[in-house]
Chains A and B, each alone.
Chain A
Amino acid sequence: MPIELKHVTYTYMPQTPFERVALQDVSLTIEEGSFTAIAGHTGSGKSTLVQHLNGILQPTSGQVLVDGTDLAARGKAALAARRKVGMVFQYPEHQLFEETVALDIAFGPKNLELPEAEIEQRVRQAMEFVHLDYETYKDRSPFQLSGGQMRRAAIAGVIALQPKYLVLDEPTAGLDPRGREDLLQRIVQLHKKEKITIVFVSHNMDDIARTADRVVFMDQGKVLLDEAPAKAFFAEKEIAQAGLAAPQMVTLLTKLREKGLAVDPAAFTMEDGVAHIMKALREAKSC
């Protein structure tokens, strides 16, 4: 079952001079098992959009259904539906508060009122998943960790809830290249191994190129484009309108092609790109 947004409109501070429509009639379906990237310029409404996915924001008009349950409803069914969606906010390390890493990660499972043994089990799993060694880090204060480790500890806090859908709002912002690389790989692993449906918000098209199987561009509170990456990265007009830039590899290959190298520009990762270029070069030499 998917997450469905039906004609969602959201207005900040309605009926005041500060009124601002952040989302305008957005309809979107996030299929189970997909890896959806939401891209857009600052202020395009992407963060507002994802906050609807677990009921933190309620649409001004429209509906959000998780596995067929309306999040706006009261009662246990809606609460259970909300809990299926894990949410990692921008700079999640700013929400760490406990004395030790393990306690902080256990905060979510504790709120679910799980038995102690299960909580410990989940904390252990979550920490291993984000590559924080359980024995080494469980008793450390989260405030002694490095930036990248803090980020991973905070994400572990959400993973420990074992959500069916995981929403990440710019998870790599402010990380160094290695931390970024590491985190992206962890997320891809979550998607592949644990079969968690991922919604990934970013304006870094290179990150999107390497991970997503579906790309949504947002602009001024509306869905501008909703396509597979192979199509989305070549939609020059929409990319420009959304204030984004095509992935570097796509740009490079397109330029090479313009210069006369017979290369297929549909490669999004470094490895694919290199392979394509090598192949084209070899072919060019042999004839």
Chain B
Amino acid sequence: MLTDITIGQYFPGDSVLHRMDPRVKIVLLFFFIVGIFIFDTRGAYAVMSVFTLLLMLLSHVPLRMMARSVKPLWWILAFTFLVHLCSTPGEIFARVWIFDFTYTGFWQGFFVCLRLVLLILLSSLLTFTTSPLALTDALESLLRPLKRFGVPAHELAMMMTIALRFVPTLIEETDKIIKAQQSRGSDFSSGNLMKRVKSLIPILVPLFISAFRRADELAMAMEARCYRGGVGRTQMKALQIGGVDYLALAVTLVFAAVLGALKVVGV
């Protein structure tokens, strides 16, 4: 059923990662991603994999859900691995038709895939442990310095917040309309393409009407509450950097130092 979809993939919880300031999480994630590309020795990969695994355990998000976020990229991973496997020159260990499989290719492919998986896991850790609203708050706060150059930080964040707020509402609405039209005997799953596209009209028309109606009502409600953009607006739950965040910062620094040392030693 449609309403069974979770939006974003926020997984409510109370782990250390959940309690961190979303801004710190975004910034640290950025550094981790840069790190993944800078440090490319085997030792560094080992350290990073272990570290990612620890973070995953720390987040208390079931590993099953984590695995689900990697699943859509399965084909890309397999393709990347194969391309590396048979297009890298080196010692050949197998040959199929015109393709030479090499050891260097195998390891190169493996590490590229590992890199990708780490990237996905780390970024989904962010979305798993941060509610969409906290994320937009953090983005607004991080974009604020760019206001001087004309970036409408508040407006962008507000737009994102509203969009996110309405996704579940509209999904619910769609679900209801689909059920209602099904009750009137419409069939969405048979017939040729033309017929199927046509069968969407009874869903799309009421959906658009209700979306416009809601937008109108929301605009009215915001205006009635004297909303006029971000100027002078304060927040009820202001973001605050606390102990957990300093701890995370310290851990990251140690982690970076270890990786740096590994790079210098060349493991």
**How would residues 189 to 206 of chain B score, 1 for a CB under 8 Å from any chain A CB and 0 otherwise?**
000000000000110011
A12 with B4: CB separation less than 8 A: yes
A13 with B4: CB separation less than 8 A: yes
For the complex, give the distance between the alpha carbons of A106 and B238 in Å.
54
Interface size, B (range): 20 to 34
**How would residues 1 to 39 of chain B score, 1 for a CB under 8 Å from any chain A CB and 0 otherwise?**
101101000011000000000000000000000000000
For the complex, give the distance between the alpha carbons of A33 and B185 in Å.
23
* Contact residues in A for B4 (Cβ distance below 8 Å): 12-13
For the complex, give the distance between the alpha carbons of A240 and B162 in Å.
38
B185 with A95: CB separation less than 8 A: no
A95 with B206: CB separation less than 8 A: yes
- B134-181 contacts to A, CB under 8 A, are 173, 176-177, 179-181
Given A96-B206, A97-B201, A97-B205, the answer on whether A56 and B184 have CB atoms closer than 8 Å is no
Q: Which of A83, A96, A112 has the most CB of B within 10 A?
A: A96
B235 at the interface (CB under 8 A from A): no
Residue of B nearest to A54 (CB): B183
B41 at the interface (CB under 8 A from A): no
A87 with B183: CB separation less than 8 A: yes
* Contact residues in A for B185 (Cβ distance below 8 Å): 83, 108, 111-112, 161
**How would residues 40 to 54 of chain A score, 1 for a CB under 8 Å from any chain B CB and 0 otherwise?**
000000000001001
B187 at the interface (CB under 8 A from A): yes
Residue of B nearest to A113 (CB): B185
For the complex, give the distance between the alpha carbons of A89 and B177 in Å.
9
A86 at the interface (CB under 8 A from B): yes
Residue of A nearest to B1 (CB): A57
B184 with A157: CB separation less than 8 A: yes
11 contacting pairs across A/B (C-beta < 8 A): A56-B179, A83-B185, A87-B179, A94-B173, A94-B176, A94-B180, A95-B180, A95-B202, A108-B185, A157-B184, A161-B185
Contacts A56-B183, A95-B180, A158-B183 known; list 15 others, CB within 8 Å.
Answer: A12-B4, A18-B6, A51-B179, A56-B182, A83-B185, A89-B176, A89-B179, A89-B183, A94-B176, A94-B177, A95-B181, A107-B184, A107-B186, A111-B187, A112-B185
